[in-house]
Structure 1
Amino acid sequence: MTDLTTVGDSGLLDTLQHEVAVFARRAEQTRLGGVGQVRNSMDRAAYLLLNRLDKEGPMGVKALAASMGIDSSTVTRQVAPLVDTGLVKRTSHPEDGRAVVLQLSPRGAARLEEVRSSRRQLMAELTRDWAPEEREAFCTLLTRFNGALSARMALPGVPGSETPPAS
């Protein structure tokens, strides 16, 4: 496998890593929360958890953690305020009463759609001068980039991964 840092496009890779760092900082500063009153009204962890429950349906903590690539204790900690505020319902598993199933509540679904709508407005505003093909290309490349990051994080022993190294 070729080491991309020596291929001759190190200037391009320097620019890429810098732009990714700037993007991460700005995304965190603004939370890319949307526009209007909904702006910055839902943190990243809550949005991702609610979105996953909406897309995949009710599931247990372990399944939710696995689908998001994070630790079960992290999901438990992040979902607690969502349950407290009525955005997520915690129920007993139908086949194993000891197990907990998390489900998006009607209130959570409405709140998630409100935030999604606001964020769609922001994305439209930020890319207003882009051609449709540019939006599509950016989305395709960003999805591919995020997929590569997720795959790398799944490797045992990768710093920042919540998966313990293989012994």
Structure 2
Amino acid sequence: MPTSQDMTTDLDPGLLDALQHQVAVFARRAEQTRLGGTGQLRNSMDRAAYLLLNRLDQEGPMGVKALAAGMGIDSSTVTRQVAPLVDTGLVKRTSHPEDGRAVVLQLSPRGQARLEEVRSSRRELMAQVTDGWTEAERESFCTLLTRFNSALSARQAGLPPVERETERDTETTPAS
């Protein structure tokens, strides 16, 4: 089985250095701005809240374990991150229809409205940041970023490279 070192011998070290540097710069810029959007909504929703609300919107009501599994994080982390969203009325906790002991989380109407405000603001930010790009360049960047994120996710999950390719092919980009 080839080692990491073996896999990089045919690749341009300068290009890999430039790539890792640009990823580090992107991560710093993304955290600094939180890619929060424009206007009054800038920096108005943290990353964890946005990702949780977005997942509930895309996939519908679900339990904490399913939400955690879908996001690749621990159930205790989801519970901790969802608590303020429930407190502020963005997420509703209800009993599971078939098992009253289980809790189901769902986006509230207020959460749906808030999520759409944030999405709209972030769309505007993406339009501004990519101003001057062609539609094909935006699509290519989105495709490559999705592929990159999928590969990182698969690596974190410990999937072998062949399975990583399969996961990448099934990964979808969230609608905004």
What TM-score comes out, normalization by structure 1 length? 0.91
Structure 2 stretches lacking a partner, 5+ long: 160-176
Query: Is residue 141 of structure 1 aligned with residue 144 of structure 2?
Result: yes
Query: Is residue 37 of structure 1 aligned with residue 43 of structure 2?
Result: no
Matched residue type, 1:59: M
1:52-67 equivalence runs, <5 A: 52-67=55-70
Deviations 1:10-62 (A, max 9, x none): 10000000000010011001000000000000000000000000000000000
Deviations 1:99-122 (A, max 9, x none): 000000000000000000000000
Alignment match, 2:104: 101
Query: Is residue 150 of structure 1 aligned with residue 134 of structure 2?
Result: no
Alignment match, 1:164: none
Which one of the candidate residues 92, 112, 117 is aligned to 1:114?
117
After superposition, the CA RMSD in angstroms is 1.2
Q: Which stretches of structure 1, 4 residues or longer, exceed 2 Å deviation after superposition?
A: 1-5
Matched residue type, 2:138: R
Query: Is residue 5 of structure 1 aligned with residue 1 of structure 2?
Result: no
Superposition deviation, residue 5 in structure 1:
2.6
Query: Is residue 72 of structure 1 aligned with residue 75 of structure 2?
Result: yes
Percent same amino acid at aligned positions?
Answer: 83
Alignment match, 2:24: 21
Structure 1 stretches lacking a partner, 5+ long: 157-167
Aligned residue pairs: how many?
156
Q: Distance in 2 between matches of 1:55 and 1:48?
A: 10
What TM-score comes out, normalization by structure 2 length? 0.86
Superposition deviation, residue 133 in structure 1:
0.9
SS of the residue corresponding to residue 90 of structure 1 reads strand
Superposition deviation, residue 144 in structure 1:
0.3
Which one of the candidate residues 90, 95, 110 is aligned to 1:92?
95
